[in-house]
Amino acid sequence: MDAEAQRFFDYLLVERGLSANTIASYGRDVAQFIEYAREEMGADSVEDLSEEVLLSFLARLQKDHYAATSAARKLAAIRSFLKFLMREGITKTDPTGAVENPRAAKPLPKTLTEDEVERLLRQPDPSNDNGLRDRAMLETLYATGLRVSELIGLCVEDVNLKVGFVRCVGKGSKERIVPIGEVAVQTIASYLDKSRARFAKGQRTEYLFLTNRGRPMTRVGFWKIVKKRARAAGITRHITPHVLRHSFATHLLEHGADIRSIQEMLGHASVATTQVYTHVTRDHLREVYRKAHPRA
């Protein structure tokens, strides 16, 4: 196998004109694969480099905690080597055809605990206009799981306080109806009754949440509000408005809501997008089990 590998490296240098560093990188990856095939799988020649051997090698990389990006790079080098062998007539088949590239695991969404959410929502002082507006925005976001663009795009007529829902337009201009809880309803009603007119400063505007200059709230403006209120609530880790959206979904799952309903409320086109929250709740369940079960 070493002779065939050397032929491959010569091909990379002479015919493809790759740099010495690139060839060295290919060399390390191919050599690692050949060594594994020889030592662990009993391969004696390149004809023994089967799909089974390749899959076993990738499984070993995963077991040894190689990052998906590193494993994918190694597979690319090995794939190139095995295809070269087939093109040159050294082997008859390409064992890489059905082997997929390793995929990097998606990071789990960051969330707040229920206690942190409670502290954040209670931080703004509703006895002044800014505090009441900020609390109304935070309560609305946590109650509905809206995206920031959907929250700041809400108009007064989009909120039905009597029935308890908000209407928003999400990605792809798709409209959806999301229920809103009693606490958020009361806070929004108080904001509309006591403060919004002062923010509007006599101007006619349809937007629900306004800045101190009477303009529609912006993404940056609301992000600053969240950051300021979180810091004042003693939440030291990094927090963005999207963390409240993640917290909304996670806390619903933890309290028994079904995934399809959460998908609809979040406005996800596919339930696969929503299922990322099930990983978060599994961690929560494991922790509950560990603390509660006498033999955990």
Summarised one tens digit per residue, pLDDT across range 194-247 is: 999 999 999 999 999 999 999 999 999 999 999 999 999 999 988 999 999 999
Confidence of residue 284 (pLDDT cuts 50, 70, 90): low
Q: Which of 39-53, 250-264, 265-279, 280-294 has the lowest mean pLDDT?
A: 280-294
Long-range contacts of 95-101 (CB under 8 A, 24+ apart): 95/49, 95/50, 95/51, 95/53, 95/54, 96/51, 96/54, 98/51, 99/51, 99/54, 99/55, 99/58, 99/75, 101/72, 101/75, 101/76
Instruction: Supply the pLDDT for residue 281.
Output: 64
* CATH (one of 3.20.20.70, 1.10.443.10, 3.40.30.10, 3.40.50.2300) for 114-292: 1.10.443.10
Q: Is it the case that residue 272 has pLDDT exceeding 80?
A: no
Confidence of residue 1 (pLDDT cuts 50, 70, 90): confident
DSSP H helices, 15-128, are 20-41, 51-63, 68-87, 114-122
Catalytic residue numbers? 147, 171, 242, 245, 268, 277
Question: What would the two tokens of residue 183 be?
Answer: 């606490």
pLDDT in tens, 126-174: 999 999 999 999 999 999 999 999 999 999 999 999 999 999 988 878 8
> What are the boundaries of each domain within the chain?
2-87, 114-292
DSSP H helices, 100-218, are 114-122, 129-144, 148-152, 182-194, 196-200
**Residue tagged 């409240």 (tokens):** 244
In this prediction the pTM is 0.63
pLDDT in tens, 6-62: 988 988 988 888 888 999 999 999 999 999 998 888 888 888 888 888 889 888 888
Instruction: Supply the pLDDT for residue 169.
Output: 85
Q: Please spell the DSSP secondary structure of 222-269, one letter per residue.
A: HHHHHHHHHHHTT--S---HHHHHHHHHHHHHHTT--HHHHHHHHT-S
Maximum separation of any 2 CA atoms in the chain, in Å: 85
Phi first, then psi: give them for residue 73, nearest 5 degrees.
Answer: -65, -45
Q: Which residues contact 165 (CB under 8 A, 6 or more apart)?
A: 177, 178, 179, 180
Please tell me the CATH code under which domain 2-87 is placed.
1.10.150.130
Which residues is 177 bridged to in the sheet?
167
Give the rounded distance of the alpha carbon of 74 from its chain centre.
26
Question: What would the two tokens of residue 229 be?
Answer: 């209120």
Instruction: Supply the pLDDT for residue 137.
Output: 98
DSSP state of 178: E
Q: Which of 66-70, 131-135, 184-188, 282-286 has the lowest mean pLDDT?
A: 282-286
Instruction: Supply the pLDDT for residue 279.
Output: 67
Mean predicted lDDT score pLDDT of the chain:
88
Confidence of residue 291 (pLDDT cuts 50, 70, 90): confident
Q: Is it the case that residue 282 has pLDDT exceeding 80?
A: no
CA-CA distance, 120 to 137, in Å (whole number)? 12
Helix axes 20-41, 51-63, angle to 10 degrees: 100
DSSP state of 169: E
pLDDT in tens, 63-111: 888 888 888 899 999 999 999 988 888 988 888 877 777 765 566 678 8
